[in-house]
Chains A and B, each alone.
Chain A
Amino acid sequence: MEAPTGTEEEEEERGNGFSVSAEERDRWIDRAMHMAQEALESGEVPVGCLMVYNNQMVGMGRNEVNETKNATRHAEMVAIDQVLNWCLRRSKNPAEVFQRTVLYVTVEPCIMCAAALRIMRIPLVVYGCQNERFGGCGSVLNISSDDLPNTGTAFQCIPGHRAKEAVEMLKTFYKQENPNAPQSKVRKLNGHKR
């Protein structure tokens, strides 16, 4: 989905009192797409994400499940830890930073990551395609907006940015993940490469 061109003021989208311009959105989601493409080329799940605070990238991530043998190491969880480290190094209060941080991710966050984003109180998530299997922002459950008073705060989503490209990358990946398909070299390296 490409937004029609117009002035930045007209294009602003708001999430929990937080807004980003169309120009910003396009720039950051473009970088996330590049990361996903890189992941695909090195045989990883093609999901790229980055976290932007004050117009600055403070964290980025890609799936590290194989590397860590920890099934919770999704791109978003990795990026959250990077932002926490960024805060630590600069003696910033993480709560204040996360409340003004936007997540750009190529695929709708899963149920687990959506809950983690709530707990971190991230106000806004810009994403590409739907996550039909695990999606927590509407596809399987609506964790992003459900009334969960003890699980952080709800967040706003702006879906559909370059969704087609993101879907194509996933399809390509799952084709090579097909257990009936002959094992490719890329697949075997999967567990040991970032």
Chain B
Amino acid sequence: MKKMEQVHCPGDQHGEGNLVPDPELSSWEALPVLPDHQTQGVELVWAYAIPVLDKKKTSRLVKEVSAIYPLVGQGHLKRVRACPDKTSPHALEILLCLASQGGDTVEGVRPLSELLPSGQIDWSDLGEPYLVHVPAHPPFTRAQFEEAKLHWPTVFHENKHISNALQGLLFSKEDKAKMQIYMEKAIHTARQGAERGMKAVGAVVVDPATEVVLAVGHDCSNASNPLLHATMVCIDLIAQRQGRGAYSFNAYPACTISPSGDRAIPLPAKSIQPGVVRKYESRQDGLPYICTGYDLYVTSEPCVMCAMALVHSRIQRVFYGASSPDGALGTRYKIHSKEDLNHHFEVFRGILGTECCSLDQKKQGQQCVSSQL
């Protein structure tokens, strides 16, 4: 399980609640909210290893064993390792295959005659098989790699994107300046909503390729429509921009859309995330699927309804300021990276975290809750 820890807003620690954004951009970090398997400890599974009695025969044995047990899906595991027990009479051992998994327990060790039926391989150069723990998945981060190789030699292809994200290297100063502008807009909108008695949550939808702010909305939920959270408002505003939509926000002048241009010809990518190829998922009428390729900036972490609405809408990335107690993009769930779902997106938290936390607190009179990575 993930360790959860309650932390105070950065601003609370100084006890001042200073709302002036720091022009040096040093007061906030965009923290990636990664799927559990990219951040957690290494998951281990049982496998069979066999001692090599005659070191000179190793390469032939590896060839023969690999032909029988190709270890499909375990490409991260090396076939041979030096025996960790220095007093052992043999120097090397070969990984044969995964043991049949029955939860944490495995049935008794199967003999060589069963694992490698006679005729397939010459047993005389092999010792008796035994069970070892091996990493179930390829390591994503250097920390996971360091842990994985303690159990069995592991191949590591560093995922630059993830390690850059973890080291806070994903965004340049220029990127952060843009992100701050978008989030400031969301905060401003949240305040406009709050002035009309709404919950102080604001959101902005941006097309990162053109840097155009497409929609700006605040929470419009009240007794006559409790579901109009800021994210839901923005999703409908995007639909309105594409000529449809389900609601009227005439009563809320702060909820606006930019005029719709020709979306069929996107401008050359100026994406703030290098190396990402923009692809539009086409609808039947040739338009991109609702929010494909767009970024959402929202002052507080979306709830389950809003998070799943973003999956349905095919958002590309979500940036939020403050975590929410029942939040579904990091705190209680990570709906954006849930393996069973058909669309995944990237999430970063902490953008103008202090300012967004203060918005929340004003309304709820409670401390911000944040989950530690």
A190 neighbours in B (Cβ, 8 Å): 284
**New A-B pairs, 16, CB < 8 Å, besides A72-B236, A150-B324:** A70-B239, A71-B290, A71-B291, A71-B309, A72-B312, A80-B227, A94-B223, A94-B226, A112-B308, A115-B303, A119-B227, A119-B303, A134-B308, A148-B304, A148-B332, A149-B326
Q: B340 to chain A: which residues have CB within 8 Å? A: 133, 140
Task: Say yes or no for B338: interface residue by CB 8 A criterion.
Answer: yes
> Interface 1/0s, chain A 142-158, versus B by CB < 8 A?
01001011110000000
In the complex, A57 has a CB within 8 A of chain B: no
| Complex partner residue of B235 from A70, A143, A148, A187, CB under 8 angstroms | A70
Tell whether A116 is near chain B: CB-to-CB under 8 Å: yes
Which residues of chain B are within 8 angstroms of A67 by Cβ–Cβ distance? Answer: 244
CB distance from A120 to the nearest CB of B (A): 6
B224 within 8 A of A: yes
A71 & B313 in contact (Cβ 8 Å cutoff): yes
Chain B interface residues toward A at CB < 8 A: 223-227, 232, 235-236, 239, 242-246, 283-285, 287, 289-291, 303-305, 308-309, 311-314, 324-326, 328, 332-333, 335, 338, 340-342
Q: Is the CB of A116 within 8 A of B244?
A: no
B227 partner, pick from A77, A146, A191, beta carbons under 8 A: A77
B326 touches A148 (CB 8 A): yes
Q: Is the CB of A116 within 8 A of B305?
A: yes
What is the CA–CA distance of A111 and B303 in the complex, to the nearest angstrom? Answer: 11
- The reply to whether B243 and A72 contact each other, CB–CB distance below 8 Å, is no
Given the interface pairs A70-B239, A119-B226, A148-B326, the reply to whether A136 lies near B246 with Cβ below 8 Å is: no
Q: A73 — which chain B residues lie within 8 A by C-beta?
A: 246
**Smallest distance from the beta carbon of A4 to chain B beta carbons, Å?**
34
Whether B285 contacts A119 by the Cβ 8 Å rule is no
Contact indicator A120/B303 (Cβ below 8 Å)? no
Count, chain A residues at interface, CB 8 A: 40
Distance between B222 CB and nearest chain A CB, rounded to angstroms: 10
A67 to B328, CA, bound (A): 28
Within 8 A of B (CB), among A7-35: none
Q: How far is the CA of A91 from the CA of B295 in the complex (A)?
A: 39
Interface of chain A residues 115 through 140 with chain B (CB within 8 A): 115-116, 119-120, 133-134, 136, 140
Shortest A98–chain B CB gap in Å is 9
Check if B244 sits within 8 Å of A68, measured CB to CB: yes
Interface members, chain A 145-176 (any B CB < 8 Å): 146, 148-151
Q: Which 4 A-B residue pairings sit nearest by Cβ, starting from the closest?
A: A112-B308, A115-B305, A115-B304, A71-B312
Contact A71 B235 (CB under 8 A): yes
**Contact between chains at B290 and A70 (CB < 8 Å):** yes
Provide the residues of chain B in CB contact with A119, threshold 8 Å.
Answer: 226-227, 303, 305
- Alpha-carbon distance between A112 and B332 when the two chains are bound, in angstroms: 15
A110 and B308 contact, Cβ closer than 8 Å, known pairs A69-B242, A70-B245, A191-B285: yes
Report Cα–Cα, A108/B312, bound state, in Å: 16
Across the interface, do B305 and A141 meet the contact criterion of CB distance under 8 Å? Answer: no
Is the CB–CB distance between B341 and A69 below 8 Å?
no
| Shortest distance from the beta carbon of B187 to any chain A beta carbon, whole Å | 21
Partner of A141, one of B242, B303, B333: B333
Question: Among A111, A140, A148, A151, which residue has the most Cβ atoms of chain B within 10 A?
Answer: A111
Whether A72 and B224, one on each chain, are in contact in the complex, defined by CB atoms closer than 8 angstroms, is no
Interface CB pairs A-B, < 8 A, 16: A67-B244, A68-B236, A69-B243, A70-B245, A71-B309, A72-B232, A77-B227, A81-B225, A84-B225, A112-B305, A112-B311, A114-B304, A115-B303, A134-B341, A136-B308, A188-B284
Q: Is the CB of B308 within 8 A of A115?
A: yes
- For A150, the closest partner residue in chain B by CB is B326
Contacts of B232 on A, CB cut-off 8 Å?
72
Distance in Å from the Cβ of A148 to the closest Cβ of chain B?
5
Residue of B nearest to A74 (CB): B312
When distances are taken between beta carbons in the complex, the residues of chain B under 8 Å from A88 are 224
A119 vs B326: C-alpha distance when bound (angstroms): 12
Docked-complex contact B304 and A151, CB < 8 angstroms: yes
CA distance A149 to B223 in the complex (A): 19
Contacts of A94 in B (CB 8 A): 223-224, 226
Q: Which of chain B's residues has its CB closest to A67's CB? A: B244
Residue in B closest to A112 when the chains form the complex, CB atoms: B308
B289: chain A residues at CB < 8 Å are: 71
User: Is A64 among interface residues, defined by CB-CB distance under 8 A?
Assistant: yes
Pick from B224, B235, B285, B287: contact of A84, CB under 8 Å:
B224
- The chain A residue with its CB closest to the CB of B236 is A70
